[in-house]
Structures are given as structure tokens and as C-alpha cells.
Structure 1
Amino acid sequence: MAEDAAAGSPLLDLPEPLLLHILGFLTDARSRHRAALVCHRLLAAERATRSALSLRGDPRSDAFLYLIRPSFCFPALERLDLSLVSPWGHPFLSSAAPSADAVAPFVTAEEVADQNAFIAARLAYCFPAVSSLAVYCRDPTTLASLTPHWRSRLRSVKLVRWHQRPPGLDSGTDLEPLLGDCPALRALDLSEFYCWTEDIEPALATHPAAAAALTELDLGLAGATDGFHATELGGIAGFCPNLRKLVAPCVFNPRYVDFVNDDALLTIATSCPKLAILWLREPFEPAATGQREDAAITVAGLVSFFAALPELEDFTLDLRHNVRETAPAMEALARRCPQIKFLTLGGFQGLCKASWLHLDGVAVCGSLESLCIKGCLDLTDASLVAIGRGCGRLAKFAIHGCDSVTSAGIRRLATALRPTIKEVSILHCRLLDTAACLTALSPIRDRIESLEISCVWKEVEQPESVANGTIGCGHEDDDDLGEVTYEESASKKCRYMELDDLVSWEMLRSLSLWFPAGEVLSPLISAGLDSCPVLEEISIKVEGDCRARPGPFFGLSDLAGFPVLAKMKLDLSEAVGYALTAPAGQMDLSLWERFYLQGIDSLVTLYELDYWPPQDKEVNQRSLTLPAVGLLQGCVGLRKLFVHGTTHEHFLTFFLKVPNLRDMQLREDYYPAPESDMMNTEMRAESWLRFENQLNIKLIED
């Protein structure tokens, strides 16, 4: 009937090029799927114009093989994502098959190799134009099977591995098939790939031509608690002189051997002078404020470093150690790197003194569109006023761990940046509680699209100047100079009275919240976030020790007031407690999961959920408990569920009762990753395959 109805539609009388052009405007995947079901002509047009596709499922199942049948061809598809293809169950195109496969028992190694070759050839036939590939690689066999089919076209590859690095591999073996068989490769992304820092340099050294051709290299290395040393970083930069983008965790601690210092930074700059994006971070946990040492990075070294990178546009140097008196270095950055637009600095002190009427430090970087400042202990309200005056193009502003900033400075910065600001992040600032922070953002409440704040409901101690009625935010206000008394501030506040009372967060689409263990979500609504009509995504992270605190009633049901909330990330991975047994008077993690997840069934619009269970770090275990599984089962609208941990096999049957659940995945993406899937009490690989088969045969209305 759909074919007959579509036959009389004037739309299908259009010439083929025009029909393809119109279909190209459909960017949403489900909308394109619905259009393709109308008739064969629209089906062919959809496949001819599709540019990106993500596949899921067990590659050896009949359903997956039917999906990549010869008639299932996308001639123009360039971006293919295979990272969701059964990363827990049967390794995708890997020789390391489970010993007791529930689907095909007693399969020999030769049969596995033949099946791998068949699946790889079928994928290459269905997607002949792939130039960007994301793939889950349990071991090098996967790449060895895939790369020969696309070797002349692959320009960008992202490798994903949540499981532990296979034992016995030589350094660099994981990247051997990729660097050896893909001469067109220009971008390599390892940000979600579990491997060692020692694996990178040998692989690049073995294939110098492929390394020299790279223009983008992301070495984020999922779960890394160690970073690259100066020698390793210099070697990588030397092998890749044409890099435009480099991301790497580094060892900046001067107590370590071969730490990164001024000379190492200058080596990167001189070896890769074309760098436009450079992100260097320290992966260790931040030390307490009083315990921070000085890094071996100096102002003179930074000035030379910036002078060697004239094309720099996006720079991140996130340290857990202090760099002193950096205002001259920021002024050199503005002079030497005129294209700089995105800047993230951690541990930099003296960024902006704002002692005189003229601008200084980071405030002279007038071309910045994004600025993130972390751990700057001498950043004051006057500094924020100067940044608001000098950086008038800022669309994103973030401060983390800046203990001298108050709500008065935030308000004046928000007022100055009202024409451009879209994203705001304020975390772990001692003088900023949640209510004061939201009130300070009132001038731009109707402008913000993304907001990240810490949720601390207790009153914070204000500095003496604010407590006495004087707000020393700098030398310049909207109309005059000098200090602003409390009475003058109150009179000027009338300009925003109507804005505070009537304007909702009408453009807010993404909200990120940080909670210490024991705090609750409920006061957030009364604090000012009661009207968010277009909020689509919320991220909640809880940190702290649960064991010494009473059980909270977190209040997820309060989020039911957001009418279009579709995605949620609930991260309890840093909430530490007892996993199996608890002493008398203490709660185990099953009760904490119940308290945090209580009310999640009221979020009827929730479409996608990423969930990190709490863990007992002493046993390195993060697993779903029975109360958590029962509560997650109540989310009737869920279509995608990603659990960053493991669970018991019999708990999986609960998720089969979620009516619309289509895509579920378990990820062991915590460090160090478990050594084996074959744990006695936890789910095994064949258990997941059985669950996945039952999930795939479910009938879903849409």
C-alpha cells in the first residue's frame, strides 16, 4: 500500500538528481530510514546519498550477515563506524575467539580465519568508498583483515578497545597493519584505545613514510594513568613533522625521570611547525592546593615555544603543577599566534593581574572564542572584568578550581559577554555555591546553550570585601570607574530585575552537574533551573566516599519537568564504597545505586543512557547490582543503554523487558581493565552473545 500511495506522489515525479539533492537535507538517521521504507526509488536514493553509517551486532550471526548482503550497498558512504560491533562478545574479525562460543561451538582457527576474510570482503563490497573508519580492535587481526580492502582510500582511522591489551604483543604490533598497508592515512585517533605509551614510538619508527604523512594524531589513550616522557614525545614529533593536530598525555612532574620541560616543548614546536591544534595534559589526579609544586615550565620557555608555532589555533596545556607569573607569556601568545581561538590552561598563575586600566595577560588575547582556566589561585573578580573587556568574542568560558572568584565577578563577566557567550562551565570554585552561581548568570540566562556547574547547596564564606558591602571587581564598571558599593550595585541590579524573574533558560540544550557524595539533586530546581524547555542532554557526575555518609535520596524524578530530555550520562564511577560486604552500620553499593537511580522510571522521554556504576576500588570491580537492574528496567522509553562495567548473566533478562531497547553495550573502560572476561561470577562472552541474539529478535514498533 505504501508503494501504491507513493507512486502517485508528485515528489517521486522529480528528476533523479533533484530527488537526491532533496534527500540529502535529511540528516537525522531515523528520518532517512523512514523515507527509505516508502518505496524502492526512495530506498535507492537514500543509499546513494548516505555518507555515514554505524553498525552493531554480532558479526557472525545470521542477522548481521543478512544485513551486509550484496544488495545492501552504499556507493557514496565515506564514514563507517564498526566500534559497536560486539566488543564484549565474539571479538570482531579476531583470531582470539571465545573457547566456548554459544553460537558456533567447536570452531577451528582455520574456520575463524576464513569467516573473517569473508566478512571483511563483504564489508568492502557493501561500502566501497570508505575513507574514515572507526573499528573495535581486540587484537591486530582485525586491522589485518580490513585494511587490504580499503588501503588506497583510508584517510582517517579511529581505533577503539575497552578490553585489556593482549599479553605477549611486541611494542607497536597493534598499529603495524594500519601504518604498513594504508599509504593514504592522514589522521589516527587512539583516544579510546587501551594500549601502552610504549607502543606508539616503535610503530612510527618502523614506518617513517606513513608517520611523516600523518597530519592528525590523537594519543589520548583511554584509561591512561601515565603519560609520555620527554624523549618519547620528542621522538613522536620527529617522526611526524607534518602534524596539524597532536593530543597527548604527558609527564610534567619534575620528580619523575625524563619529565617534560621547556626543552621538550620547544622540540615539539621545532619538529612540527605546522601545528594548529596542540593538547598536552597531565593525566594524574590533581594534588591539594598546598601540596602543588612548580613545574619545569617557565615564562621564557613558553615565549620561545609560541614563537615557533605561528599557525597555532587551539592550545591546551593542562598541568597539575604551578607555572608562575604567566601574564607575559600570554601576551607573547597574542603576538606570536594571531590565529589563536581556543585556549585551555591548567596550573597557570598570574594570568591576568588587572592592576591598572590597561589590559594585561590573557585579557589581551582578543581573538579567543573559548577560554578555560583551571587551578588559577590568584584569578580574581578584577581579572574576570578585564577578560570580559579584552576577550569580547568569547563564546565559551570555563573556570575550574579558582578559589578567589566570587559571584559578583561572574555576573560582571556575563554582562560583558552577553552578545557572544553560549557555553559556561564553573566547577570547584570555593566561593561559588550553586544558587549564587545561577543568580550571577542571570544576565545571560536566555543566551546559554551549554552549562556546567558544581552542585553545593551549603552557604559559602564570602571574602571580606563582599561581606562588608564592597564589591571590588576592578577599575571599570558599565558607566564609571572605581569601587562599587553595595548600594550602587543594588541600584544597577534593577536593570536585570525583569530578566531575573521572567526569563527562562530558553536556549539551554546541555546541562552538566558535579555532585559530592551525599548531596542531592532536588534543590537544583528551586535554585533557578526550573524552566528549560529545550533541554535535551544532561550529565551528572558524583565523586566522593559513600561509606561514611548517610544514604541520599537523590531526586532524579525532578528531571521529569524537562519536556524533551532525551540523553543522560550518570557517572558514579568515582563514588567509592563497599562492593560485596560492609561492616556493621555501613551500606554496600547496592543501596547507593538504589538511592541514586530511584525515580529514573519517571523520565519517560529518556532515549539514551550512559551509566557508570559505583565501584570498590580495592577489588577493581564495577558491576550492576540487582536494585540497579530493576530500576533501569523501568525506563520504558530507553532505546540505547551503555553500562560502563559488567553484570551477572541472569540480570540481563531484565533488560529484555524494556519495550524499545535496541542498542545495549557493556564496557570495561576502567583502569586497569579486568584481565579476563571469564570471571567465575560475572558475565562471560558467550553469555553476552546469548543476550544479544535475544535482543535482536525482539519486535519493536518503529
Structure 2
Amino acid sequence: MSNAAETTVRHLPEEILLKVFSGVSDTRTRNSLSLVCRSFYCFERRTRSSLTLRGIARDLYLIPTCFAHVTHLDLSLLSPWGHALLCSSSTADPHHLAQRLRDAFPRVTSLVVYAREPTTLHLLLLSPWPELRHVRLVRWHQRPPSSPAGSDFATLFSRCRSLTSLDLSAFYHWPEDLPPVLTANPAAAASLRRLNLLKTSFTEGFKSHEIESITASCPNLEHFLVACTFDPRYIGFVGDETLSAIPSNCPKLSLLHLADTSSFSNRSDDDGNGGEDARISHETLVALFSGLPLLEELVLDVCKNVRESSFAMEVLSKKCPNLRVLRLGQFQGICLAIGSKLDGIALCQGLRSLSIHGCADLDDMGLIEIARGCSRLVQFELQGCKLVTEKGLGTMACLLRKTLVDVKVSCCVNLDTAAALRALDPIRDRIERLHVDCVWNGLKDSDDNMGGGLLNFDLNDPNGGAEIMDCFGDEECEDPSKRKRQRCEYGLEGDDSLVQSNGNGYYGKNWDRLRYLSLWIKVGDLLNLLPVAGLEDCPNLEEIRVKVEGDCRGQPKPAESEFGLSILACYPQLSKMQLDCGDTRGYVLTAPSGQMDLSLWERFFLNGISSLSLNELHYWPPQDEDVNLRSVSLPAAGLLQECYTLRKLIIHGTAHEHFMNFFLKIPNLRDVQLREDYYPAPASDMSTEIRVGSCSRFEDALNRRHICD
């Protein structure tokens, strides 16, 4: 017995312990394991493959040297945030710092770095990591106008000839910089397998000839994501010629993402009924799909009408049998829904994820046909489809009850918040991720949202299924037994979970599995009605994102003192929040008489946040576009200071140094960052909001505090 009592987990074979530690991904858990004993410390360091550094790069002795097995290294968050990593102002010897980083992490294969100036990559790659394969560049500031064209990428491609993946989605640059560098380095370009150029800050994106040049230089691409424009009014728009060149130049593509830059804007009211058509013919779409047989993920967010696309979707289903993810923007006629025979996009039966944006002619019958054909959908997004109603979405939820766990419903005029939640009731106990718009349409605190039922037919009544049978195109069938057989065939009968309602059309009492909730709300509206609309019971909700959008200028002063964040205290497991007011515009200290400036609006938005037990908060302050400033105000800093449970605070903007000092009073705060990730970020360093010394002093004060765990 004594020997058994002395046997501990440390006595397990080394191979088993390495497997155990490799399976632990949570950073805090790994750190706790490393403190148990010396052997656990060694196992943790040997199995740590990813590391993100933060702190002050000027102190060389702070660079850890015990993570020699790390393969993914993220240097983009080193303080001072958003400034050059290797510059004389932050380090005495940038060459020495670069060498120390390479010596401390010799096995790096994936690198993320904030490269504000071309010299950063030049110094960092003087003696490149021999195994470096994946690079992600980050820059929120403007491209230095004095830099020669392509200087940001010249060093990268000349020194890293075996690079297989390059991500420029968060790198502020000019589209014309990249193609000449790829042409000048054919060996490095040919080794690329993944190229992400989906830059959301572009106004026009890559032009057609630039896309053709890039794809011609990189014939082995498997993943290609690019921001462009499909608007025929612009020079260099993407049309038939460019779409035909992509499969010819890169036939190995398994992921293709072409997005119009206007799709990055907030919300579109274009329903596809008007406006110009894209210069994309049916023949070109057929050729595109036929030339990419390995395609697994396709995004065509055109933002210009592509009409009568049903036949092209049928070709897509035949020519791309491995397709699993599909997103279409303003494609019309994707599903004709004539009779009970499947057509169009409904024939893509292998899809796991489907997003439909701005389809003006998609109605309930089309949605039901898509649900019948694409019976394996796990994720579904519906945006700007103004003919879809609660009945159609509810029937789709019934048909996809066994698979669907991730749903987004946005900009659909017939689906306000309450209607969308009622329609999703059949999967209420299964859904894990959800986005809805907060559109109340007269909903009041006293309203009872539980009445009315989900659908206007009874699945158990032989005569009550006539309406859904009409949707399936069997209007002439009047035999109740035949209708019953068809309901079994379509999956509406035989699953007890579909027919056991509580008498009012609802299939469950709470959202048991909901982990992530995303909300959009207009400036001036309140969150208080969220529980009344149907989201009152989410026992396992862990993360929420709230996006507030609109122009405060001209808005009357709110009658309530707070926006309604305190109502979120009804979710007991809520620990992470993203509060995005970045697209809320207003006045900064220039408000006319009778108008509120942004500091008062920030107080309105953040009132009540202290009642939430948050561990992590991402906050985008509202902005004044006239001065290109997104900064935390004094009331906002005071209210954020009251979030005593915070461990991580990310501000996507700027803040004065004395406002930042408020955060030092949060007892367990471990990580604070200022990210100027709005474009273009302010280039001046004269303000105390973004001065290097201010950021460094705050980081030092934060690290001097004692944190219990």
C-alpha cells in the first residue's frame, strides 16, 4: 500500500506524458502544469508549439529562452503597440534584438510580426529561420510614402524562397506593390500554396490585371483570397476575363475567395432588385467551376447582380464534388423551387456551410428546397433576403434539426428579432452559435413572446400539412395518407423531437448549448428587450458580441441612462465580450448646442458593464471621422475601471496615458493592449494617446503589480 500511495502521475512513461501535455491547449492551464514540478516544466516547454510575446522589446533579458521547441511565434503584440519592433527608439541595438529572437526560437516555421517599416523584416530576416514556411504581416499604419514600391515584400521573397503561406489580410499596403515582387522572384512565388489578400481597408482592392499577374506568378496556389471590385464603373473591375484566367493559372485551388470591397462595409440595403449587373456571364461561371475540380470552399461576394444563376449552381454541384463551404453575394435565381424536383444550389448536397447574401428572389419555397437538398448543413447565414419569412426559416430549421448548430440572420425585413428566434425554436436545444439583429418592431417589456406558435401548420394533423405540401409543389395531392408518407420522406415525421412541442409551437425551454451570441443594434435602441424577444435563458452562454452602428449626430438624447448591458447579467457563464462601437459616429468636443459628444455616448453605452463578471473584453470606441480619431474618453475609462474581474482588456483604438492608469486599479488585470486597427491609424506620435514612452510606462506599471494567480 505504501508503494501505491507514493505512485504519482510523474511516474508515467515519458511518451505518455508528452501526449498528455500535447493535448492541453489552454495557455493558463499549461502554465499551471509547468509549476507542479521540474519534470512537468520540461514536458510543458517541449510540447509548447505556439507562443505570443507581449511586453517591452527594449529589455533583451525579458526574451524567454526556454521555448526552443516553439514553431509558431507571434511578435505582432509587442509594446509599444503598433510601433516598429526593431527601431532605435525602442531598442539600443535592433540587430542584437533580432539575433536574440532567432536564437531563442530556432525552430520557428510560422511567424506573425508587426512590420510598420520595411527595415523590420530586413533586420529580422538577415539570417532567416531555415524552416520558415508561414508568414503573416500586420500593419495598421499607412504605408511609408517614401518607401520604394514593393520594398515591404522584397526582403521576404528574396530570403525566404521556401515560403508556402503569406497572409496580408491585416497589412496596410498598396495593391500595386505585390505583383512586381512576385514576378521578380519566380522561385519563391512558385512555392506559395496559400495567399491571403483579403484586406478590409482597401477602397478599390486589387485590379483585374493585378489578379491575373499574381495568379500567373503563383501557379501552385491552393488557397487564394483577394479583395477586388466587380463594379463595371471602375477601371480594373473583375469580369469574365479575370474569372477565366484564375482556373487556367491556378488549377489546384481548393479555396477561392473573391470579395468586392463594398462587402466589407457595415450593412447593405441593396436587395438585388435594382442597381447594375456584374459583367459575369453564365458561360464564365461554368468555365470557372469546371476548371477547379478540387474546390472545397468558394466565396463569390460580388455585390453586383448575377442573375439567373440556377444552371451555374447545378454545374458547380457536378464539377466540384468536394465543395463544403459556399458563400454567394447578390446571386439571383439560385434556386427556382418549381415543383418538388431539386434544382440550383439545392443540388450541392455535400455542403456543410452556406451563406446567402442579397438574393432578392429567394422565398420560403426556395429556402425549404435548399434545406431538403443540402441536408448536411452545419452553418447557415441569411442576409438581405427580403422575401423569406418566419414560416420558411422555421421549416428549414425543422428539416435541418439534426445538423444545424450555427445560424446568422441579418437584414431580413420579415425576420425581426422575435420572429427569427421563434423560427429557430426547432433547434433551440442544439444551436451553439447565433447572430440576430436587434430589431424590436414595437416589442415591449410587457409583451408575451411565447404565443402564436412556430409554424402555421400542425405536423400531426393530416389536414394541417397542406401549406407545407404546397411549398413542396404537390398542390394536387389531396390524399391524407399520401401527404403523411411525403412528410415522412421529407423528415418532418419520424423524429419525435420535431413533433413534441409544448402546445404553443415551442420545442424547448432554453438555449442549452448556445456558447456564442452576436447582436447588431442601431444607435438609439436599447438591449433591454433581448430577454423578452426570446433569449432569456442561455445557461451556457460564454461569449457575446454586440455591434452598435449608426450616426449619433442628430440623434436625440436617450431617455434611459444606460444602453442595457446590465441585462446581460442574466447569463451566468458569460465571461467574454466584444463591444464594437467602431462604426458609431459622432462629435468629439465639437457637438453643437443640444447634441451629445462622444464622451457622453460612451457613458451611455458602457453604463452597467460593471455588473457583468467578464474575464476578457474587446472594446471599439466610437469615432469622429472628421479627425480620424477613435479614442477612449474619461467616462469610458472610469466605467471600464469598475470591471473588477477582467484579466484581459483589448482597446481597438487609443487612450491618454492618465486614462490608461485607471486600469491599474483592476486587481487581476493581466493583459492590456491598445490596437490602432482602424485605417489608416494615426501616424503622429506627438499626442500622449499614442506616444511610445506613454505605452512603455503603462506596461512597466502593469508588470510591477502582484497578481495572485
TM-score by length of 1: 0.90
Please show how residues 55-70 of structure 1 align to structure 2 within 5 Å: 55-61=53-59, 65-68=60-63
Indicate which of 23, 27, 37 corresponds to 2:35. 37
What residue number does 1:276 align with? 254
Please show how residues 306-385 of structure 1 align to structure 2 within 5 Å: 306-385=289-368
How far is 1:89 from its partner?
6.5
d(CA) in 2 for partners of 1:359, 1:89 = 52
What residue number does 1:93 align with? 86
Please show how residues 574-613 of structure 1 align to structure 2 within 5 Å: 574-604=583-613, 606-613=614-621
The residue identity in structure 2 corresponding to 1:387 is I
d(CA) in 2 for partners of 1:683, 1:153 = 36
The residue identity in structure 2 corresponding to 1:139 is E
What residue number does 1:497 align with? 502
How far is 1:576 from its partner?
1.4
How far is 1:205 from its partner?
1.7
d(CA) in 2 for partners of 1:18, 1:326 = 54
Question: Are the equivalent residues in 2 in contact too, given 1:36–1:46 (CA < 8 A)?
Answer: yes
d(CA) in 2 for partners of 1:632, 1:253 = 43
Partner-residue secondary structure (3-state), 1:185: coil
Sort the Cα spacing of 1:82 and 1:476 in 2 relative to 1 into closer, same or farther, 3 A. farther
Residues 153-186 of structure 1 show CA distances to partners (whole Å, capped at 9, x for unaligned) of 0011111112222221111111122111112210
d(CA) in 2 for partners of 1:449, 1:678 = 46
Partner-residue secondary structure (3-state), 1:650: helix
The residue identity in structure 1 corresponding to 2:39 is R
What residue number does 1:448 align with? 431
What residue number does 2:538 align with? 532
What residue number does 1:104 align with? none
Partner-residue secondary structure (3-state), 1:92: coil
Partner-residue secondary structure (3-state), 2:224: strand
d(CA) in 2 for partners of 1:331, 1:501 = 35
Indicate which of 521, 541, 565 corresponds to 2:574. 565
d(CA) in 1 for partners of 2:685, 2:436 = 37
d(CA) in 1 for partners of 2:312, 2:676 = 41
How far is 1:76 from its partner?
2.3
Q: Give 5+ residue unaligned stretches, structure 2.
A: 444-454, 457-465, 476-482, 488-496
d(CA) in 2 for partners of 1:596, 1:545 = 14
What residue number does 2:462 align with? none
What residue number does 2:547 align with? 541
How far is 1:390 from its partner?
0.3
Sort the Cα spacing of 1:8 and 1:190 in 2 relative to 1 into closer, same or farther, 3 A. farther
The residue identity in structure 2 corresponding to 1:496 is S
Q: Select between 681-690 and 222-231 the one with higher mean Cα deviation.
A: 681-690
Question: Are the equivalent residues in 1 in contact too, given 2:140–2:680 (CA < 8 A)?
Answer: no
How far is 1:577 from its partner?
1.3
Partner-residue secondary structure (3-state), 1:544: strand
Sort the Cα spacing of 1:328 and 1:658 in 2 relative to 1 into closer, same or farther, 3 A. same
d(CA) in 2 for partners of 1:245, 1:90 = 30
In the alignment, is residue 522 of structure 1 matched against residue 517 of structure 2? no
How far is 1:126 from its partner?
2.0
How far is 1:9 from its partner?
5.8
Question: Are the equivalent residues in 1 in contact too, given 2:80–2:696 (CA < 8 A)?
Answer: no
Residues 6-40 of structure 1 show CA distances to partners (whole Å, capped at 9, x for unaligned) of x9662222333332222222221111101111222
TM-score by length of 2: 0.89
d(CA) in 1 for partners of 2:379, 2:499 = 27
The residue identity in structure 1 corresponding to 2:640 is L
d(CA) in 2 for partners of 1:306, 1:431 = 33
Residues 636-679 of structure 1 show CA distances to partners (whole Å, capped at 9, x for unaligned) of 11111111111222111111111111111112222232232323
Question: Are the equivalent residues in 2 in contact too, given 1:292–1:320 (CA < 8 A)?
Answer: no
Sort the Cα spacing of 1:580 and 1:29 in 2 relative to 1 into closer, same or farther, 3 A. same
What residue number does 1:690 align with? 697
Partner-residue secondary structure (3-state), 2:125: helix
What residue number does 1:225 align with? 203
Sort the Cα spacing of 1:240 and 1:493 in 2 relative to 1 into closer, same or farther, 3 A. closer
How far is 1:220 from its partner?
1.7
Indicate which of 638, 641, 646 corresponds to 1:638. 646
Percent of pairs with identical residues: 50
What residue number does 1:53 align with? 51
What residue number does 1:258 align with? 236
Question: Are the equivalent residues in 1 in contact too, given 2:510–2:537 (CA < 8 A)?
Answer: yes
How far is 1:503 from its partner?
3.2
d(CA) in 1 for partners of 2:521, 2:583 = 11
Indicate which of 147, 150, 153 corresponds to 1:169. 147
How far is 1:543 from its partner?
1.2
How far is 1:519 from its partner?
1.4
How far is 1:476 from its partner?
6.3
The residue identity in structure 1 corresponding to 2:38 is H
d(CA) in 2 for partners of 1:316, 1:534 = 32
d(CA) in 2 for partners of 1:119, 1:636 = 36
Partner-residue secondary structure (3-state), 1:497: coil
Q: Select between 274-283 and 15-24 the one with higher mean Cα deviation.
A: 15-24
What residue number does 1:4 align with? none
Question: Are the equivalent residues in 2 in contact too, given 1:643–1:667 (CA < 8 A)?
Answer: yes
What residue number does 1:120 align with? 98
d(CA) in 1 for partners of 2:624, 2:142 = 19
Q: Give 5+ residue unaligned stretches, structure 1.
A: 1-6, 102-110, 483-491
Sort the Cα spacing of 1:440 and 1:89 in 2 relative to 1 into closer, same or farther, 3 A. closer
What residue number does 1:487 align with? none
Partner-residue secondary structure (3-state), 2:682: coil
d(CA) in 2 for partners of 1:15, 1:436 = 57
Partner-residue secondary structure (3-state), 2:686: coil
d(CA) in 2 for partners of 1:602, 1:57 = 30
What residue number does 1:400 align with? 383
d(CA) in 2 for partners of 1:66, 1:90 = 20
In the alignment, is residue 212 of structure 1 matched against residue 190 of structure 2? yes
Question: Are the equivalent residues in 2 in contact too, given 1:378–1:404 (CA < 8 A)?
Answer: yes
Size of the aligned set, in residue pairs, is 661
